[in-house]
Structures are given as C-alpha cells and as structure tokens.
Amino acid sequence: MAGHSKWANRVHRKTRQDVKRSKIFSKYSRAIMVAAREGGGNPDHNPALRSVIDQARAAQMPNDNIEYAIKRGLGEVEGVEFESVRYEGYGPGGVAMLIECVTDNSQRTVAEVRNLLSKRDGKLAGPGSVTWMFEQKGVITVPRGDADYDTVFLTAAEAGAEDFVEDDEEYIEIRTALEDFHAVRGALSEAEIPFERAELNMIPTSTIQVPDNEAGKLLRLLEDLDDHDDVQHIYANFEVSDEALEAFEVANS
C-alpha cells in the first residue's frame, strides 16, 4: 500500500524537477520570512527556519534569495506581511487533512482552499477537528541507491531515530522525535550519508484505506492544493493501493 509518505516523496521529486522555479522560490521565501519572524533569524537556534532553508537549498534557491527572505522576516527590509495559517478538513473517502499556508490575505486563502476541497468532494472543518489525529515528527529520506541500509540504520538509530519506514522502493524514511531531529540529521551528514528531504512533518497516528474508485479524486485534490501559491504543506492520513497510485501517475505524467 502507498500512503502519504510515498505521495510526499513524489511531490518532493516534482519540486526538484519543476521548471517553474520562480513559483517554488516564492513559496520558500514566504516560509522563510514567517519562520524568521516567529523564531529568529539564526537557523542554529530555529529548527523551523533550518528545515525550510534546507528545503530551499535542495531546490537550488540562491543564497541571496534566502538571506533576503530572512531579512524581510526580521523586519530589516520592508514589504508585504505574511502570516502562517493552518486549515483542517476532510477529503474524498473521509481522509483527514491538515493544510498549512503562508498568506498575506487569510480571507482570500480560506475561500480558495474551501473551493478546492468542495470541487473534489472535500470540506473544511473547524479548528481542532483533525489535528489530534497527527503528531509532529522529524522526517529524513535517504535515496536507497546512495547508501547501504545497515549503515543508514545504525547511524540514525545511534543518534536517536525512533522509526524507519520502508514502503517506498526509492527511499528509506527515517522518523525522529522533535527533539532528536537535528542530532540524527547531523549524524547522517557527518557520516556522509546523502539525504534528499529533512523536515519537520505532521505524521498521522493512524491511516484509512481509500478505495481505488476514490483514490484518483483524492490524489488530484492533493495536487491541486500543492499547486496553490499559498499552500506550503498538506498532511493527510490515507493509504491507497500501489495500483491506484501508479495509474494516477501514468494519467498525469
């Protein structure tokens, strides 16, 4: 079965290959501004800022852009004010969803997110409706062809990793408690083990199986939300069959 992790890895590959770099960089700039404003401009003391800077660099965002976004967040450069907002809702098949956005107009954003959900048989829910179904974890993905599994396992486990997810043929996914995220990430870097994704995520505590006849609609909704300029992250508690995911990828390749 394929779940949110496999879909997230697919989105990550798409982001790295996306020719519309300006749109990707705009999303990262907003996230950096908010993270710097809320937790300070030093990534060594601001895990959220460190996480989004790592993602921006992986997408080849220039350092000048990153530094400018930090200054904007700290108020050293004037510009539009952005805020971080989270919406909760349900998608096709009753899938619980957390949708994290960065916006300069929350009324506009919530209306557009509501519209995207309703077009795919989803709906917004009230605050707290689905948050309790998720817990924050550190997530690091290592390409399987770039490192020996035993080496990855021992290095990460000794640094404090708490779980390894192996349902993706291309990646080993390492999960950590929030407080151990940077130690595990640092241990992998010190051991020269390459990783593609290292970020703080909301992981579902349980998942639901979405029937194949609903899977395409759900995956299309996730793509629509991901394409929205204000949407930074989408977390969902679904499982779909590998066949349904492959069919969707073929239809949208």
- As given in the structure block, the two tokens for residue 172 are 């080993």
Which pLDDT value is given to residue 32?
Answer: 93
Is the CB of residue 119 less than 8 Å from the CB of residue 92?
A: no
- As given in the structure block, the two tokens for residue 151 are 């080496």
Is the CB of residue 184 less than 8 Å from the CB of residue 174?
A: yes
Angstrom CA distances, 146 to 116, 142, 170, 172, stand at 38, 7, 10, 10
Which pLDDT value is given to residue 56?
Answer: 87
CA 78/CA 196 separation, integer angstroms: 33
pLDDT digits (tens, 9 = 90+) for 86-118: 999 999 989 999 999 999 999 999 999 999 999
Residue type, 233: H
End-to-end CA gap in the chain: 21
Which pLDDT value is given to residue 167?
Answer: 67
CA 10/CA 16 separation, integer angstroms: 10
For the purposes of burial, counting CB atoms within 10 Å of the CB of 27, is it exposed (0-12), middle (13-18) or buried (19 or more)? buried
Angstrom CA distances, 27 to 102, 134, 154, 209, stand at 8, 24, 35, 31
Q: What is the pLDDT along the chain (253 residues), one digit of tens a residue?
A: 456 666 666 665 565 555 456 678 888 999 999 999 999 999 988 988 888 898 888 778 899 999 999 999 998 888 778 889 999 999 998 999 999 999 999 999 999 999 999 999 999 999 999 999 999 999 999 988 888 889 999 999 999 999 998 766 788 899 999 899 989 999 999 999 998 888 888 999 999 999 988 988 999 999 899 889 899 999 999 988 888 888 887 787 6
Sheet with 83-91, strands from edge to edge, namely 123-125, 83-91, 95-103, 231-236
CA 229/CA 27 separation, integer angstroms: 7
> Phi/psi of residue 18, each to 5°?
-65, 125
- The full set of domain ranges for the chain reads 2-74
Query: CATH number of the domain at 2-74, out of 3.90.1150.10, 1.10.275.10, 2.60.120.330, 1.10.10.200?
Result: 1.10.10.200
CA 250 to chain centroid, in Å, comes to 23
